[in-house]
Chain A
Amino acid sequence: MVLKDQLSHIIESLSQVGFEMVLIGGSLLLLLLGLIAKRSLVSQIVYVLVLVLAMTLVPLPTDLGVWFGGALAVQELTWLFRLVFSFLGVWVVFYPTANRHPFEYYFLLLAVIAGSAFMLSAQHLLVIYLAIELTSFASYLLTNFNFEKRSFEAGIKYLIFGGTASALALYGASLIYGFTGTLLVSEMDFALVQNPALLNVGLLLFIGAMLFKVSLVPFHIWVPTTYQVAPTSAVAILSVIPKIAGFVLLHRVLLAVDVHTQYWLYVVIVAVGMATIVIGTLGALRQTNIKRMIAYGAIAHSGFLLGALLIPGETGVVAFAWYALAYGIINLVAFYMVSVLEDRQLLDVKDLAGLSRTEGYFGGLITIVMVALIGLPPTVGFTIKFYLFTALWGWYQTVVDPWIMGYLVVALMSVVFSLFFYLKVPYFIFLKESDGDVQSVTNPGQRVIATIFTLVLLWLFISPDILNNIADNIKSIAW
């Protein structure tokens, strides 16, 4: 290609990544502004403005393609989740602790979102690596923003974990490159390799980096401690945005490998998913710290999302997109409630005993959120789980694979078990009597925000038009 053509291709490509460019540019601007205006409110406003501006620059789903010589592939899912990320990101400023964080905090949040956005479209091994690392580094730092000894410890552990995973991933990437001769995921042809044993090792190690990002077994160990000590609004972002992006990326890699013909990988993924659901659910059973409990629950949710990757075709992609979107919203709401409670040092379920005497309304809202996390009507949690299970069942009937059946059974059992720990929260709020005085926890503003958040969960269940529209837009994707 002539230099001129290359340049024009790059310039043309740049117009397609306006979203990411605005995020990066905006984050740098925020950093500069922060040096001048120290007030947190300024950075919050800039943060929201950057996200809103970025949202307007998302290319339409009609305007898709492959850019930067194949390094970035912009698909319908990219379009959808760019919008979702910026939308979800905005809500962080409504958390009760939002004013206590310095401007660097918002800079790092933008960096997480930008890295995740790149993960949505990256298909060059090195770009994938860079995107994951950008997200990870920002996450390591965000973990520390409570500035306590515990959080430093957790942050360092998180860093060491991430470093190990990323070292393994680089090694895996080099193996893949060595065997296939290309760095572009889309151009790899795994069927050509004669003796794939080492290639498979490389593949598994590389996939490990993504498993780390989406907190799947055996790369989930960092999750509970990190979620427990990190600032809650950061956890709300970390548990949603990089995770969804990681799943989209993981699916792209699995599709390139053609997981349905590489049976060993298929089995490994299924086993990882089942183990994730089991460990997440059982781990949550005995937790009394609400944040830690939801962290384990989030691990289990990763297992559910992984199930949607295994179902090919329209039902799979719709199940994934719905689950990811609704999971994001539910988690954001759940962590908002936790954040409000945390503000009054109420993080152990035992502390919530008798809260209904002063906070009956807020307790009711929490109950709805917990019901959504379990996946029962009348919340959107039910809609997505129901659709996912239907899709899994449909896929099982097509392939009659006992692994899929096992997956379905484990997932269903997990829902039953999750009743025990999620409902512990309303149980303590409404049925237990407290020993001491119960003080009111929320102020009217927080109740209003919590109500809006919760109504979204109910509204999406009653009127799933939005979900249907999304399904219409993405069901043509090769999944």
Chain B
Amino acid sequence: MSNPAIHLTLVLLLPLAGGILTYLSGQSMVRRTALVGMVPGLIAAGMLLFMSNDSSITIRFDWLPGHSLGWQVDHVSAVLIALVYFISFLVHLFSLHYLQHDPSIHRYFAKLGFFTTSMLGLLAADHLLLVFVFWELVGFSSYLLIGFWFSQEDKAKSAREAFMVNRVADAGLLIGVILMVMVLDQPFLSELSAVSSSPLVHLAGIGLLIGALGKSAQFPFFGWLPKAMAGPTPVSALIHAATMVAAGVYLLFRVVPVLSPLVMGLAAILGAVTALMAAIAALTQHDIKKVLAYSTISQLGYMVLGVGVGAYQASLFHLWTHAFFKAGLFMAAGAVIHYFHELRHDDHEFDGQDMRNMGGLRKVLPVTHLVYLLCGLALSGLPFFSGFLSKEGILSGAWIWASQTGLWAYVVTDMAFITAFLTPLYVGRQILLVFYGEPRTVVERLQGMEPLWKVKLPLLLLAIASVWVFSAINPFNPTGWWLNAYLFSNDIFRAPEGFDYIEKLTFGLSVVLSAGGLLVSYWYFRPSRSQAYSNAGVPQTWYGRLSYRGWFMAEVYAALAKVYDALVMLSAWFDRKVIDKAVNAVGVASVVLSKAAAIFDREIIDGLVNLMAWLANLVGRLFTGIQSGKVQHQLVWMMVVLLAILLWFQF
């Protein structure tokens, strides 16, 4: 293996190796072994940035004759690998605090390492088959992590549901991959070239799109992400905010060259629809993590929209900024939940994730409050925060696209802008309800809730990264991302001649929308009103319930499962009434012919087995005849066969 190959192998395998080591050395050693793989891996990932700087690292190896597989790390992969490492490292740190009392914490770190390696493999894979393999590994490891507390039945069930929804979408991806590799002959992501539109190209694109929609929790698959919140909260920060759900966007970003305009349009529509639906669903949630889950879906909708309208660089930018502030939000939420678990650890009825029980937490969790505030403002898209810059690019891209596409496309753009107003609304609501006002349960300061290395450091790093200077020097220039030159050689989506006014309008409108959203949320949830919230129940109006139940996605899935059940019943009925009848008919017919009817009369499988036993018996008897031990008989048998052959071909 060449030098870069060895290095890449190390980068990919270190988290897994560290995880296995942690698992094998047991629970008592976790404090010492948890970071064994991550620290050298982080350094190696940093070196990977330099190694891929001049030219991409490309590795090809033969697999089956005529098929070679390959890896490639170009600038985009290298940056994302570093990003995943960074977030994963912080999550490792935070998990040490969050799960410190869990008896299976060593198993947790093994799973976390496994997930990290799978995710890195997905980013480094170049051949679509490898992409698919790691795609599935990512899904599987996420399933393991969601179901980490598998002894609680509802959590195990949630993990299974999330996994199954992903399976359905992965079938689409598989179709896309097979078409790309076998029919369109474009197996390598780095060598994709534009193809002329044909039904097959559409189909391949739609297959890939379905896969991406599934992994990125887009309509109609987004029901699984709220379910995935059953896992430990640091896991939600890593998987369901920063990395795995972004895989769909990453895949779309990679395959843009072969996506037909039809598929792109579809992506834009579905992305915008998802963004709006999820934002509405986030408005009424009581569970602190569910708000974040729906907001993640909504933001991923933005990214898919960005790819669909051709502003995929802006999507990648948003993926980048979102990874930081959403991971920050989730970890801060984890800190809140952890605090309540410590505070009320003897009260099993108490729900530490219900915002109705919170309020006024800024006094007991000051650092968490600060982090939540910074990351939340970034999420709501306020100027001087990273979220503003990246969202701006997508919004103006959508507007420009609409002005070039047609009148109907403005509906998509409008949905994106409405979402831009709803986002600060639910963010503001959550911050006000959790951290401001008077506490709705008795709280007190606890010792050791915000230890420096395991909580303050990761949280503050993520919060600081959400401020504008860490994305672009100019806080108002959405194309000013300092990585633009490195990732896209400055070849980025810009407004064409005569469309400058759209960028200016978008700018003004986003400032107004985000500030307005925050103000509205303050009006409704201002501290003096927040006490009433503790009695808030489940919304009763039809629109309230639609939002609260997340558009009844779970019910839709259940209904689909019922349809599937019905199909199964139907085929069982068909099997019974038609196939079995046919078998019986054959049986009746053969009763006349031979004893074999007795075998065929039973069910098919039984019949086959019996037939085989009968055949084996026959041969067995034949053999006992031949191999009676008398060598003369055997020789005679041999000669007879030989003679038969001679006679057969001669006459």
Contacts and interface: CB of A to CB of B under 8 A. Distances in A.
A201 B62 contact: no
Interface in A456-470: 464-465, 468
B619 A282 contact: yes
A464 B631 contact: no
17 contacts: A157-B631, A161-B634, A197-B650, A200-B650, A205-B642, A218-B638, A218-B641, A221-B626, A221-B637, A265-B649, A268-B645, A282-B615, A282-B616, A282-B619, A286-B616, A468-B62, A471-B65
B620 A160 contact: no
Contacts of A479: none
Contacts of B441: none
A150 to B, nearest CB: 11
A161 B612 CA distance: 31
B605 interface: no
B623 interface: yes
Contact of B638 (A164, A197, A420): A164
The 5 closest A-B pairs by CB, nearest first: A218-B641, A285-B616, A264-B649, A282-B619, A157-B631
A268 B637 contact: no
Interface in B376-392: none
Given A156-B631, A264-B649, 14 more contacts: A160-B635, A161-B634, A161-B638, A164-B635, A197-B650, A201-B650, A204-B645, A205-B642, A271-B645, A286-B616, A417-B612, A465-B61, A468-B65, A471-B65
B64 interface: yes
B509 to A, nearest CB: 55
Given A221-B637, A282-B619, A208 B642 contact: yes
Contact of A286 (B62, B65, B620): B620
B612 to A, nearest CB: 7
Contacts of B627: 221, 224-225
A102 interface: no
Contacts, number: 66
B497 to A, nearest CB: 54
Interface in B381-428: none
Interface of A: 156-157, 160-161, 164, 168, 197, 200-201, 204-205, 208, 217-219, 221-222, 224-225, 264-265, 267-268, 271, 279, 282-283, 285-286, 318, 417, 420, 464-465, 468, 471
Given A208-B642, A264-B649, A465-B62, A218 B637 contact: yes
Contacts of A219: 638
Given A286-B620, A468-B62, A221 B650 contact: no
B619 A160 contact: no
B649 A268 contact: yes
A58 B368 CA distance: 73
Contacts of A267: 649
Contacts of A264: 649
Interface in B238-277: none
B592 interface: no
Interface in B55-97: 61-65
A283 B638 contact: no
Nearest to B648: A268
Contacts of B442: none
Contacts of B532: none
Nearest to A275: B641
A221 B634 contact: yes
Nearest to A315: B65
A218 B620 CA distance: 16
A157 B629 CA distance: 9
Contacts of B638: 161, 164, 218-219, 221
Nearest to B623: A283
Interface of B: 61-65, 612, 615-617, 619-620, 623, 626-627, 631, 634-635, 637-638, 641-642, 645-646, 648-650
Contacts of A197: 650
Contact of B635 (A161, A285, A286, A465): A161
Contacts of B620: 286
Nearest to B609: A420
A274 to B, nearest CB: 13
B606 to A, nearest CB: 14
A217 B641 contact: yes
A17 B311 CA distance: 70
Contacts of B616: 282, 285-286
Given A161-B631, A221-B638, A204 B646 contact: yes
A163 B649 CA distance: 26
Nearest to A469: B62
A279 B61 CA distance: 41
Contacts of A205: 642
Contact of A204 (B63, B619, B623, B642): B642
A471 B619 CA distance: 38
Contact of B646 (A201, A283, A318, A465): A201
A225 B630 CA distance: 12
Contacts of A221: 626-627, 634, 637-638
A201 B63 CA distance: 46
A464 B64 contact: yes
A157 B631 CA distance: 6
Contacts of A417: 612
Contacts of B61: 465
A285 B637 CA distance: 22
A420 B616 CA distance: 12
Nearest to B632: A160
Contacts of A279: 619
Nearest to B644: A218
A173 B647 CA distance: 20
Nearest to A472: B65
A285 B612 CA distance: 9
A318 B616 CA distance: 34
Contacts of B637: 218, 221
B609 to A, nearest CB: 9
A456 to B, nearest CB: 18
A220 B637 CA distance: 11
A393 to B, nearest CB: 15
B65 to A, nearest CB: 6
A271 B641 CA distance: 12
A217 B649 CA distance: 17
A381 B566 CA distance: 40
A194 to B, nearest CB: 16
A227 to B, nearest CB: 13
Highest count of chain B CB atoms <10 Å: which of A221, A271, A286: A221
Contacts of A265: 649
A405 to B, nearest CB: 20
B642 to A, nearest CB: 6
Given A208-B642, A221-B626, A282-B619, A157 B634 contact: yes
A233 B638 CA distance: 28
A221 B612 CA distance: 22
Nearest to B615: A282
A152 B636 CA distance: 21
A204 B647 CA distance: 12
Contacts of A201: 646, 650
A292 to B, nearest CB: 11
Contacts of B617: 286
A168 B635 CA distance: 12
Contacts of A161: 631, 634-635, 638
Contacts of B649: 200, 264-265, 267-268
Contacts of B642: 168, 204-205, 208, 218
